[in-house]
Structure 1
């Protein structure tokens, strides 16, 4: 799936969800960090290193950054990267038209995504039931699995992701607690060493 197709899907889906659930309902689309989900808007896209000096200069002027007259390409790029506007994504803009928020999952943390668990279960189902090894059978088995999915396993996928999230939160608080104890012990050792040398 390309970025253009995904943006069209988000626009269509957001529109349908908003019509179906009404204006007062809070709607959030959860997406991962696939490149097609993260295309930047034209005005927040950073300059490319392959650009000519003139293009980099134009980009800087569009962002109201003063450009030195005798700057090298490397200096212009450094200036551009130091003055980048806040990132805005095309997908967020499309969903925002329908008052829908986008929540991106953390990079490389697929365990927080219940869709990944469902995807793995579907692949196992297809692998276990595929006896003819034809692409049409794979599609049929995938559709069969998706239509048979009801609230119980779907809820289990969500609960599993919440449990993983809670486990990470406990580990973080434990690490913070241990870190604070280590810092306070280091401060005590430092003060004892200072007293020895005074």
Structure 2
């Protein structure tokens, strides 16, 4: 899979979705092609200046490349954190929700794939590719709307558990913060004063 293939497939799927739908995707590289390249030190100074000018970002013509790249980094978020698939979806009134990196347990499709693969494992008798393919397609046919809803409900419970853990960690870590600044108290004054 690569970005070109995924974007082609995605462009065919988008018209089939209802407006205001939410598409949940992970951070696979082919989901995450940037809409625009960010200038790097390998760019010419003139090209970096052109990029900054096109973004209405001010700079001094006498600045060296390193200073220009620093300015680029300051404006990175507003100009660079846009993805091709997010923009494609937006044109159809669709929202893309990106999962946090390394959190496949928050992706309901993983549970669906597990059910389909489990069906193959349970029913595979010959271990030939043709049978595996047919069984996989049969397994997908067994994924009903109710099973999807169940997978989503499970993910929502996982999210709630994670929110609870975040709050607990915040509460516990706040109690362990040690302040190393000056104290108003005389508890730590030396005997020589």
User: 1:85: Cα distance to partner?
Assistant: 4.8
**Which of 17, 33, 40 does residue 34 from structure 2 map onto?**
40
Counterparts in 2 of 1:89-100, with a 5 A limit?
Answer: 89-100=83-94
Which residue does 1:81 correspond to in 2? 73
Q: Which has the larger helix fraction?
A: 1
Structure 1 residue ranges (4+ consecutive) displaced by more than 4 angstroms after TM superposition: none
Residues 79-99 of structure 1 show CA distances to partners (whole Å, capped at 9, x for unaligned) of 322222522222122111121
User: 1:46: Cα distance to partner?
Assistant: 0.9
Residues 171-193 of structure 1 show CA distances to partners (whole Å, capped at 9, x for unaligned) of 1121222234445xx57xx86x8
Which residue does 2:21 correspond to in 1? 27
Could you tell me how far apart the structure 1 residues matched to 2:187 and 2:148 are? 63
Could you tell me how far apart the structure 1 residues matched to 2:153 and 2:172 are? 28
Single out whichever of 52-61 and 143-152 deviates more from structure 2. 52-61
Could you tell me how far apart the structure 1 residues matched to 2:74 and 2:28 are? 25
- The alignment partner of 1:157 has SS state of helix
Could you tell me how far apart the structure 2 residues matched to 1:8 and 1:78 are? 35
Which residue does 1:113 correspond to in 2? 107
What are structure 2's unaligned runs of at least 5 residues? none
- The alignment partner of 1:196 has SS state of coil
Could you tell me how far apart the structure 1 residues matched to 2:77 and 2:99 are? 22
TM-score, normalization by structure 2:
0.80
Which residue does 1:62 correspond to in 2? 54
> Measured at CA, do residues 176 and 67 of structure 1 come closer, stay the same or move farther in structure 2, by a change above 3 Å?
closer
Which residue does 2:44 correspond to in 1? 52
**What value does the CA root-mean-square deviation take over the aligned residues?**
2.6
Pairing 1:147–2:141 present:
yes
What are structure 1's unaligned runs of at least 5 residues? none
User: 1:197: Cα distance to partner?
Assistant: 4.2
TM-score, normalization by structure 1:
0.78
